[in-house]
Structure 1
Amino acid sequence: MQTEAIQAFVSVCDRGSFQAAAEALHLSQPTISKRLAALETRLGHELFDRVGRGVALTEAGRAYLPHARELLAVIQDGARALDNLHADTAGPLRLALSHHVGLHRMPEVLRAYIARYPNVAPEIAFVDSEAACRSVVNGERELAVITLPSPAHPGLVEDCIWHDPMSVFVGRDHALATAESVAATDLAAYPAVLPPVESYTYAIIADALGAAGLDIAPRMTSHYLETLRMLAGVGIGWTVLPTSMEHPELARLELPGVAIQRRLGAIRHPRRSLSNAARALLTMLDARREPSARA
């Protein structure tokens, strides 16, 4: 079928080689090659430049890729719509979680969920919030529970579940740890360890501190907040973490006039059907929504 060839095309794009795509789809590499050759013949364009063992998208391949992703997503959407005709909450739940939300917000939710719906098979990807958004846009995941982007993603629907206040932290031996008062601009004299500059969390931090007159330039970055907590604790730099991540090795700084806060919650695609399993999870999350998030 043509959809099988399109699936092979997208898999090669995502994994970077015919062999990796074949392993992911449980097919032989010659089968992948034949499907792609047939697709290229049908389309009348070469989709890949084959150089040695590597592959790179041609201009035609880059133009076709978003349409291929959308077609596969629509097919999955139709299958879910048919599955939803059955009243049972069962089958796969294709979910993406950001690392912090997965570790600190979702364990109790998932524990209650799998106890209530034992016939659901969660397929959870732990990824960065930015990658989670892309996976929902591309139809690879039904839902993601993440740090919500600010401003909101134009192609997705979001449900804010929790507000996540954040604070500036330094190690106990840091020069600012015992200062009587600290302004945001005082941080400029010291290195910072922060989330990557392309992340949603970095944008939130940069906006809040920028409004207080501080332009930040991190010495090191990491998506993992536990790593940032460790780096600040040993004295490599100041950082910004959820206030709930206070630690004995850290001192929290009170910065007058600075309020940093993330919104955490679920995102979904507005034009795609959700499985009964995904709908059940959204209902459970809504029951845990903080009052401030409801507002």
Structure 2
Amino acid sequence: MDTHSLTVFMAVAESGSFSAAAERLFLTQPAVSKRIAQLEQQLGTRLFDRVGRRIRLTEAGEALLPRARQVLLDLEDMGRAISNLTGRVAGTLRIGTSHHIGLHRLPPVLRRFSREYPDVRLDIQFIDSEEAWEGVLHGDLELGVVTLPPRPDGRLRTQTIWNDPLVFMCAPEHPLTRHPALTLDALTRYSAILPSPATFTRGIVEQLFHEQQAALHISMSTNYLETIHMMVSIGLGWSVLPATMLDEGVVALNVDTPLPVRKLGVVTHPGRSRSNAARAFLEILQGDDAGALPPPS
């Protein structure tokens, strides 16, 4: 059994397809099939059930999956530790971040990093903060620059980089703007447009309304804050968005219940070696220039 076979096995298991795994690994489908067949022969058991074009893990495959992932993570961790001894900042740095942070917070950091460390290849995945969190947890990403969860999770190490105040907002012509002061109960009489239920930001808003025993009326949900901003600006409902998104298209509402400050920051895995590239990126991210980034125009 070799690490390449385990890598192929992981790719097939995660993608659910031999052809998708081949595309991910830049191999031919017959090469992927051959690797899996060899691995099954070595282990003396089938790892996948093939039903038409669909495949699924057998009981043996399910048992192998976490062990294969751990072996590959341990090898990657060992490679990082040895590579770090040279002091060279190079290789691939895999980062996950949300679209909003990637658009409004990271550009100056990425610009400086790419200029100072041209030998590093940045592999940036623009995904939901919750997906990036899981990616770091399972070793698919080395760093996540994300909205931090409102409640601590000891499985990952977190550090706040930016405070991101949230604001109730709506279009200038929305009926809510006629009231100089509002309660949460008054907001429930109108449609809200909020991030998807699984997001940390949605959880913050729902918890606030739950504590006040107020029932939200949510008409639409999406994970893209820029899309929510657009729908709010044309009068389709009110929302809770970062204060940095206030512009001529939306106005802040004066609500008597304050919103908590959303925390944006970095997550890393406490049990894995950090590459030189990750260390360099974090130094820039944590520096005075990063902490004092101006709000987006």
Bin the TM-score by the shorter chain. over 0.9
Give distance in 2, aligned partners of 1:254 and 1:122.
42
Which amino acid is 1:246 matched to?
L
Q: CA deviation at 1:174?
A: 1.5
Give distance in 1, aligned partners of 2:68 and 2:202.
32
Greater Cα shift, 106-115 or 7-16? 7-16
Q: Secondary structure at the match of 2:178?
A: coil
What is aligned with 1:12?
12
What is aligned with 1:199?
199
Q: CA deviation at 1:80?
A: 0.9
Q: What do the CA deviations read for 1:158-199 (whole angstroms, capped 9, x no partner)?
A: 111111100111122211022122101111111111111011
Q: Secondary structure at the match of 1:219?
A: strand
Greater Cα shift, 193-202 or 282-291? 282-291
What is aligned with 1:208?
208
Give distance in 2, aligned partners of 1:261 and 1:170.
19
What is aligned with 1:56?
56
What is aligned with 1:103?
103
Q: Unpaired segments of 5 or more residues in structure 1?
A: none
Q: Quick check: 2:189–2:217 contact (8 Å CA) kept in 1?
A: no
Q: Quick check: 2:190–2:217 contact (8 Å CA) kept in 1?
A: no
Q: Quick check: 1:72–1:139 contact (8 Å CA) kept in 2?
A: no
Matches within 5 A, 1:55-74: 55-74=55-74
Which amino acid is 2:57 matched to?
L
What is aligned with 1:138?
138
Matches within 5 A, 1:62-211: 62-211=62-211
TM-score, normalised by the number of residues in structure 2: 0.92
Q: Unpaired segments of 5 or more residues in structure 2?
A: 293-297
Q: Secondary structure at the match of 2:38?
A: helix
Q: What do the CA deviations read for 1:13-40 (whole angstroms, capped 9, x no partner)?
A: 2222101101111112122112222323
Greater Cα shift, 271-280 or 23-32? 23-32
Q: CA deviation at 1:243?
A: 0.8
Which amino acid is 2:233 matched to?
G
Give distance in 1, aligned partners of 2:10 and 2:56.
12
Q: Quick check: 2:98–2:129 contact (8 Å CA) kept in 1?
A: yes
Give distance in 1, aligned partners of 2:213 and 2:252.
20
Q: CA deviation at 1:144?
A: 0.9
Q: CA deviation at 1:227?
A: 0.2
Q: Secondary structure at the match of 2:240?
A: strand
Q: Quick check: 2:285–2:291 contact (8 Å CA) kept in 1?
A: no
Give distance in 2, aligned partners of 1:283 and 1:215.
43
Q: Aligned pair 1:247/2:247, yes or no?
A: yes
What is aligned with 1:229?
229
Greater Cα shift, 62-71 or 240-249? 62-71
Which amino acid is 1:129 matched to?
S
Give distance in 2, aligned partners of 1:189 and 1:261.
25
Q: Aligned pair 1:275/2:275, yes or no?
A: yes
Greater Cα shift, 45-54 or 125-134? 45-54
Give distance in 1, aligned partners of 2:63 and 2:236.
44
Q: CA deviation at 1:258?
A: 2.1
Give distance in 1, aligned partners of 2:200 and 2:13.
25
RMSD: 1.7
Which amino acid is 2:203 matched to?
A
Which amino acid is 1:80 matched to?
R
Which amino acid is 1:92 matched to?
T
What is aligned with 1:286?
286
Give distance in 2, aligned partners of 1:230 and 1:199.
19
Give distance in 2, aligned partners of 1:66 and 1:28.
25
Q: Quick check: 1:209–1:258 contact (8 Å CA) kept in 2?
A: no
Count of aligned positions: 291
Q: CA deviation at 1:67?
A: 2.5
Q: What do the CA deviations read for 1:219-246 (whole angstroms, capped 9, x no partner)?
A: 2111110000011111222111001100
Cα 1:59–1:247 change in 2 (3 A) is: farther
Which amino acid is 1:125 matched to?
Q
Q: CA deviation at 1:217?
A: 4.6
Q: What do the CA deviations read for 1:35-59 (whole angstroms, capped 9, x no partner)?
A: 2223233344433221111112234
Give distance in 1, aligned partners of 2:7 and 2:187.
50
Give distance in 1, aligned partners of 2:244 and 2:10.
40
Q: Quick check: 1:167–1:260 contact (8 Å CA) kept in 2?
A: no
